[in-house]
């Protein structure tokens, strides 16, 4: 049996990373449509009988009916492909969801929170999804009824995650899933692909087909697989999508003496047009850096974020032990840095320290 497995498309996402440029955000939503169309074209070309969508197909808060109609019209183009969808934590099976309120094409089956088994020829497909934005799991109650068939599980959740917050997102254990004996487990929720982590892999996250931001760097795509119905041997491949990717680019400014020189340096660098970039400034800085101002003044449209990770002019720990006003100020900033919760807060504290030191040095 052949199948295509996708997850985490997040149709109609607001694309917070691109929100400052509505043109880019709109382009991204158009790319989502193009990618889904390309996936359907692949299914048609390769005669794929099964299409697994493992959650977060769309964003419940933002999804428009016109987008659902676009998706469903694509599904109509592959009438001979059976489509199985499990709702995720961003598109749960709730009362006002399109999973309940919209009439999907006849080849589409949407699972609910209740574990369900669909029998089809030599394949049994099990699935369950979210009925709210948070959910525990029921997979431990699964018992495969016929191990002579190919048995598939589709769900959306956190596999082997020790993080406390993931316990509310259908926590899963690879050890337990292995013991259940599924020939393939189609997962969603983690946006990084895991299709080739180990030989003969059968529990797979395909990753997001279209990345949502800088926490999803590099290539995006979907998984195409085939399972021999007799031997149960499995073959998987990753098919890249063509949407723009998010990339980071480090730039050492240790030898740069001014803001103007930095802007010229950025403008002279090569940036691929099919990527969105975040520039990370590193090294020892010799001048004050206004990230927003630099971003406004550079000529590279697809550089959409600048981060300042350069070293400050002063040794804060050395100054903090001094018995002086500067030492007291440095100690207070240092204490706050130790309790800093994120990169933005750290950057702001270091900038405040530098400004304070400039004032105290006058």
Q: Is there a single domain that holds both residue 255 and residue 235?
A: no
Where does a domain end: 199, 219, 240?
240
Q: Is there a single domain that holds both residue 254 and residue 216?
A: no
Which domain CATH number covers 22? 3.60.21.10
Q: What is the pTM assigned to this prediction?
A: 0.83
* pLDDT value, residue 52: 98
Q: Is there a single domain that holds both residue 313 and residue 204?
A: no
Residue 86 pLDDT level (bands cut at 50, 70, 90): very high
Q: Is there a single domain that holds both residue 152 and residue 280?
A: no
The predicted-structure confidence for 183-232, as pLDDT tens digits, reads as follows 999 999 999 999 888 888 999 999 999 998 888 888 999 999 999 999 99
Residues 147-172 have a mean pLDDT of 85
Token pair recorded at residue 35: 């990618």
Scan for tokens 């996402």, then name that residue. Answer: 13
Q: Is there a single domain that holds both residue 226 and residue 203?
A: yes
Q: How many domains does the chain have?
A: 2
- What domain range is 100 assigned to? 2-240
Q: Is there a single domain that holds both residue 13 and residue 124?
A: yes
* Cβ neighbours around 294 below 10 Å, total: 18
Q: Is there a single domain that holds both residue 6 and residue 148?
A: yes
Q: Is there a single domain that holds both residue 191 and residue 315?
A: no
The predicted-structure confidence for 326-359, as pLDDT tens digits, reads as follows 899 989 999 998 888 887 788 788 878 878 887 8
Where does a domain end: 192, 218, 240?
240
Q: At 186, phi and psi to the nearest 5?
A: -90, 110
Residues 236-257 have a mean pLDDT of 92
Q: Is there a single domain that holds both residue 302 and residue 228?
A: no
Q: CA–CA separation, 292 vs 189, rounded Å?
A: 33
Q: Is there a single domain that holds both residue 151 and residue 177?
A: yes
Decide if 182 contacts 153 (C-beta within 8 A).
yes
Q: What angle do CA 121, 107, 203 make, to 5 degrees?
A: 65
Q: CA–CA separation, 254 vs 277, rounded Å?
A: 21
Residue among 44, 46, 54, 98 nearest 75 (CA): 44
Q: CA–CA separation, 267 vs 35, rounded Å?
A: 31
Q: Is there a single domain that holds both residue 166 and residue 296?
A: no
Q: Is there a single domain that holds both residue 176 and residue 202?
A: yes
């Amino acid at each position: 049996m052949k199948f295509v497995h996708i997850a985490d498309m997040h149709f109609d996402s607001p694309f917070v990373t691109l929100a400052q440029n509505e043109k880019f955000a709109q382009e991204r939503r158009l790319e989502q449509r193009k990618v889904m169309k390309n996936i359907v074209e692949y299914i048609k070309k390769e005669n794929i009988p099964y299409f697994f969508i493992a959650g977060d197909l769309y964003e419940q808060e933002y999804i428009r009916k016109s987008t659902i109609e676009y998706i469903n019209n694509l599904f109509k183009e592959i009438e001979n492909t059976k489509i199985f969808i499990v709702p995720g934590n961003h598109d749960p099976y709730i009362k006002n969801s399109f999973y309940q309120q919209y009439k999907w094409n006849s080849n589409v089956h949407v699972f609910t929170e209740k574990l369900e088994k669909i029998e089809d020829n030599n394949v049994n497909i099990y699935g369950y999804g979210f009925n709210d934005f948070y959910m525990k799991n029921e997979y431990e109650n699964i018992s495969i009824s016929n191990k002579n068939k190919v048995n598939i599980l589709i769900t959306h959740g956190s596999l082997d995650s020790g993080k406390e917050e993931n316990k509310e997102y259908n926590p899963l254990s690879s050890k337990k899933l292995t013991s259940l004996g599924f020939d393939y487990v189609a997962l969603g929720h983690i946006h990084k692909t895991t299709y080739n982590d180990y030989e003969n892999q059968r529990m797979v996250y395909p990753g997001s087909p279209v990345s949502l931001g800088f926490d999803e760097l590099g290539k995006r795509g979907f998984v195409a697989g085939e399972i021999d119905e007799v031997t149960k041997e499995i073959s998987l491949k990753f098919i890249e999508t063509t949407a723009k990717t998010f990339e980071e680019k480090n730039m050492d400014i240790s030898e740069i003496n001014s803001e103007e020189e930095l802007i010229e340096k950025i403008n002279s660098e090569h940036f691929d047009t099919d990527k969105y970039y975040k520039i990370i400034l590193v090294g020892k800085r010799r001048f004050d850096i206004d990230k927003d101002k630099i971003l406004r003044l550079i000529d590279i449209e697809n550089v959409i974020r600048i981060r300042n990770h350069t070293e400050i002019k002063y040794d804060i720990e050395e100054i903090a032990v001094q018995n002086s006003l500067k030492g007291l100020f440095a100690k207070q900033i240092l204490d706050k840095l130790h309790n800093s919760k994120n990169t933005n807060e750290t950057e702001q504290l270091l900038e405040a320290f530098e400004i304070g030191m400039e004032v105290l040095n006058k």
